[in-house]
Structure 1
Amino acid sequence: MTRDHFDELLGKVGPLITRADTGMRLAIGPAERLAICLRYLATGDSYRTIAFSYRVGRSTVSGIIWEVARAIWTALIEETMPVPTTEDWREIAAVFQERWQFPNCIGAIDGKHVVLQSPANSGSLFFNYKSTYSLVLLAVVDANYLFRVVDVGGYGRSSDSGTLRNSAFGEGLRDGTLGIPVDAIITGAEERGPLPFVFVGDEAFPLTTNLLRPFPGRQVPLQRRVYNYRLSRARLVVECAFGILSARWRMYRRVIATSPEVAEACVKATCVLHNFLRIKSLEKERRRGTQREPEDLDDPDSAPPVAPVDLGPPESLRNAPRLGSNNASRRAIELRETFCSYFNEEGTVYWCATESDCSALLRLASWLGPGCWRPGPGWLAGLDRPGRDRAAGGGYRAAASGGDLAAAGGWGQAAAGGWDLGDCDLAGWDLGDCDLAGWDLGDCDLGDCDLAGWDLAGWELAG
């Protein structure tokens, strides 16, 4: 947070936290009160440590954090996290299609356990499956890593599905009161008819007509694996948002030694502060020309591939027959199969255009482990797509001009724990002229690799 951002935040929150001087003492100013609260949120330090740093009493710090956290939520909620309208959902879907190639997606949903010190007389309400005490942050995130809906305060013992069911958002999703747009036709897949706008989640969530989850199991057919891969690409935005949140506000990396009420206020404050800073970052990127301006969405050449069709009440409001008390509706099952077929036919992406490409891609994803494989839309920039030559490991032949894989964002995971490429047969890969500056291969185990036929011209392998 820069000085300008702090001053702007103080201008919004200051009137809510200002206290009058009295004949007995001078009040602590709003700037110092805000700094004390931000210090706690950003570090998670104990009240005693912060009290020594600012030369105030420990009970004073306790009261300031509780008061200012609530004031931050009140001051920023309408600006940074307004209730999404129908048009807002459409804009979110357009960005998801552009950045993550997932049509009619209006958000990724997941839950995060915020670790607490065991509350007094709480029994097992806050005790979770990780054998810690926590409250649950349930969030819906858009394609720009902004929190659009949050529900804080669920008991740690509850699953993500149970937290969703008991939340106001879950009730609105069931009742059809969220303002979700009516079903829309996906451009290029008109014969499939109108499809509903959906949220994407992991296996912990139920399958409904407005909430998609992966196919269960490990040994699933290739087409379903492709669907799982495409859904995971879109769903990872919520995981990344949680990662950004905990990296910026380090209280999430400690055990919060406060009451659940204070912890809930702090979590809500960090969510709107995350959006506040993220919006500033997006505005800065737009000024630099690194991101599409919002008005570009009105350009016919860059219009989102959805065409709204008014068919009366959306499917989520119609009665659907049930297969059983704990099973998804037939409509939801058919909808997931429709998306599965779309991703394997009309919605195929160029890096997974054939069965052999998909097999190699999914095999590589399994090598890297869960959560490591996240190619962006430009990860094959600079590669010779028409003349690509799939090698034994599923690679591509680089164009004569060379492909800067590090800059394209397709890799760069070597430094994170070290890749073990032992026993991989990479014979036939032609990576000539590739600029691998920035790759950290110090921890890679290249034992038993067959490197015959590699063209290493232009490689920078320092270290």
Structure 2
Amino acid sequence: MKREHSSHINLVNELKFAPKDWHNYLRMIEETYLKLLSMITPLIKNQDTVMPKAVSPHERLTTTLRFLATGRSYENLEFTTIISPQALGVIIPETCEAIYKVLRQDYFKFPQTEDEWKNVAKHFENRWNFPHCLGAIDGKHIDIIPPSGSGSYFYNYKGRHSMVLLAIVDARYQFIMCSFGVNGRISDGGVLQTTTFYDKLQKHQLSIPSDEPIKGSSKILPYVFLADDAFALRTDMIKPYRQADLNSRERNIYNYRVSRARRIVENAFGILASRFRIYKTQINLEPKNIDKVVMASCALHNFLMSSSNSYSSAECFDHENLEDGTITSGLTSHDSNMEPLYRRNSGNNATAAKNVREQYVHYFNNEGSVPWQDNFIP
């Protein structure tokens, strides 16, 4: 009954006079918060009844953002929000679901046409000197407290319980696809095969452009996704050579160019984990609600990358010194509970896939070379 006068909302009102603290509390500036609140209010507003006054959209959203930002338990949040853990167990998943719903159309778009894919590739070429790149793909194990009676269903190779987040990131550090929910026990090499994305990729239903010449060159190359050793080599998915196969300068150059463009996905996960510290905990919710939390945080990441410069400062990203070949690391997920997918043995990849990789090796060592690349190889 005293929630209106005693909850964290009074603190939020005071933080309007301390913008840095406001940003630290809710992970966004006030202007961006008000924009999000106006978008989400129709989905989370409840009518007052003769019972105690309904929890307002403002309270619901600030509480949910604080939960994502801190990873605190419902029991802990009860003392600042003056909302019971039982009610929080309904409010927070509902608000996360609403966040994803309102943001996915404009801030979480998956390319649907050849022109949209080519636009993704254009950004990679302009920003990372990598032509025909459709995105960098990676996956992370998200630590959870397993549901009662689940046994070893979520038990992963690290001896922990997890669910897997698979993501594709564009050249601007934003997610263009996230698939979440595979239990950690599934072999990491098989995670991709469980996704709708992979099914459509196999059936050629993604409208990926056909092979065509690189801009300013007669070299014809396919459009590809960039991956690492957790994924199999394919004609539409290339990855670096293993250390044992780096037997030439040309392959080292190729590895540098692939790794340079792939670093964006590590930085994206790093920003996500540092801004939403729920990823530094073992998430203790029902699996269906963990899905809502994870997808909402990924949508918020894209929204804030697009709307607020304060969300991701220059220190978040890897930086290269083109003169001496040193790299200053930005944020990564290494200090969170996000574990990488297990690096698997590449096995006998199809000849066609190997040929595609060799074509990129040739391109990066000839007409596609950049002046500084020799500084970054052994």
TM (normalized to structure 1)? 0.66
For the pair 1:41 / 2:68, whether they are aligned, the reply is yes
Q: How far 1:218 moved relative to its partner? A: 3.3
Q: 2:173 aligns with which of 145, 151, 154?
A: 145
Q: How far 1:108 moved relative to its partner? A: 0.1
For the pair 1:17 / 2:32, whether they are aligned, the reply is no
Q: Aligned letter for 2:48?
A: D
Structure 1: segments with no counterpart, 5+ residues? 286-324, 353-357, 364-463
Q: Which residue of 1 aligns with 2:366?
A: 345
Q: Which residue of 1 aligns with 2:229?
A: 203
Q: Which residue of 2 aligns with 1:212?
A: 238
For the pair 1:328 / 2:359, whether they are aligned, the reply is no
Q: Aligned letter for 1:44?
A: G
Q: How far 1:56 moved relative to its partner? A: 1.5
Secondary structure in structure 2 of the residue aligned to 1:19: coil
Tell me, yes or no, if the aligned pair for 2:44 and 2:95 is still in contact at 8 Å. yes
For the pair 1:73 / 2:100, whether they are aligned, the reply is yes
For the pair 1:157 / 2:185, whether they are aligned, the reply is yes
Q: Aligned letter for 1:329?
A: A
Q: How far 1:344 moved relative to its partner? A: 1.1
Tell me, yes or no, if the aligned pair for 1:110 and 1:160 is still in contact at 8 Å. no
Q: Which residue of 1 aligns with 2:325?
A: none
For the pair 1:173 / 2:201, whether they are aligned, the reply is yes
Q: How far 1:157 moved relative to its partner? A: 1.8
Q: 2:131 aligns with which of 103, 114, 126?
A: 103
**2-structure distance, mates of 1:348, 1:66:** 49
- Once the two structures are superposed, residues 143-195 of structure 1 have per-residue CA deviations (whole angstroms, 9 ceiling, x without a partner) of 100100110111112244311111001111111111211212013441x3x32
> Structure 1 residue runs of 4+, over 6 Å off?
282-285
Cα separation, partners in 2 of 1:141 and 1:20, compared to 1, 3 Å: same
Q: Which residue of 2 aligns with 1:82?
A: 109
Q: Which residue of 2 aligns with 1:264?
A: 291
Greater RCO, CA 8 A, separation 6+: 2
- Once the two structures are superposed, residues 278-330 of structure 1 have per-residue CA deviations (whole angstroms, 9 ceiling, x without a partner) of 01137999xxxxxxxxxxxxxxxxxxxxxxxxxxxxxxxxxxxxxxx964322
Q: Which runs of structure 2 are paired with 1:46-445 in the superposition (5 Å)?
A: 46-85=73-112, 86-190=114-218, 192=219, 194-218=220-244, 220-221=246-247, 222-281=249-308, 327-352=348-373, 358=374, 361-363=376-378
Q: How far 1:219 moved relative to its partner? A: 5.2
Q: Aligned letter for 2:276?
A: W
How much identity, in percent, do the aligned residues show? Answer: 41
Q: Which residue of 1 aligns with 2:324?
A: none
Larger relative helix fraction: 2
Secondary structure in structure 1 of the residue aligned to 2:48: coil
Q: Which moved further from structure 2: 102-111 or 255-264? A: 255-264
Tell me how large the CA RMSD over aligned residues is: 1.9
Q: How far 1:223 moved relative to its partner? A: 1.4
Q: Which residue of 1 aligns with 2:20?
A: none
For the pair 1:29 / 2:50, whether they are aligned, the reply is no
Tell me, yes or no, if the aligned pair for 1:189 and 1:342 is still in contact at 8 Å. no
Tell me, yes or no, if the aligned pair for 2:137 and 2:265 is still in contact at 8 Å. yes
Structure 2: segments with no counterpart, 5+ residues? 1-27, 313-345
**1-structure distance, mates of 2:245, 2:192:** 28
Q: Aligned letter for 1:203?
A: D
Secondary structure in structure 2 of the residue aligned to 1:346: coil
**2-structure distance, mates of 1:351, 1:330:** 31
Larger radius of gyration: 1
Kindly tell me the number of residue pairs found equivalent between the two proteins. Answer: 316
Q: Which residue of 2 aligns with 1:369?
A: none
Tell me, yes or no, if the aligned pair for 1:159 and 1:204 is still in contact at 8 Å. no
**2-structure distance, mates of 1:195, 1:261:** 41
Q: How far 1:134 moved relative to its partner? A: 0.8
- Once the two structures are superposed, residues 129-149 of structure 1 have per-residue CA deviations (whole angstroms, 9 ceiling, x without a partner) of 122111111000001001001
TM (normalized to structure 2)? 0.80
Q: How far 1:119 moved relative to its partner? A: 2.3
**2-structure distance, mates of 1:173, 1:327:** 21
**1-structure distance, mates of 2:274, 2:100:** 20
**2-structure distance, mates of 1:334, 1:153:** 34
**2-structure distance, mates of 1:200, 1:90:** 15
**1-structure distance, mates of 2:376, 2:263:** 17
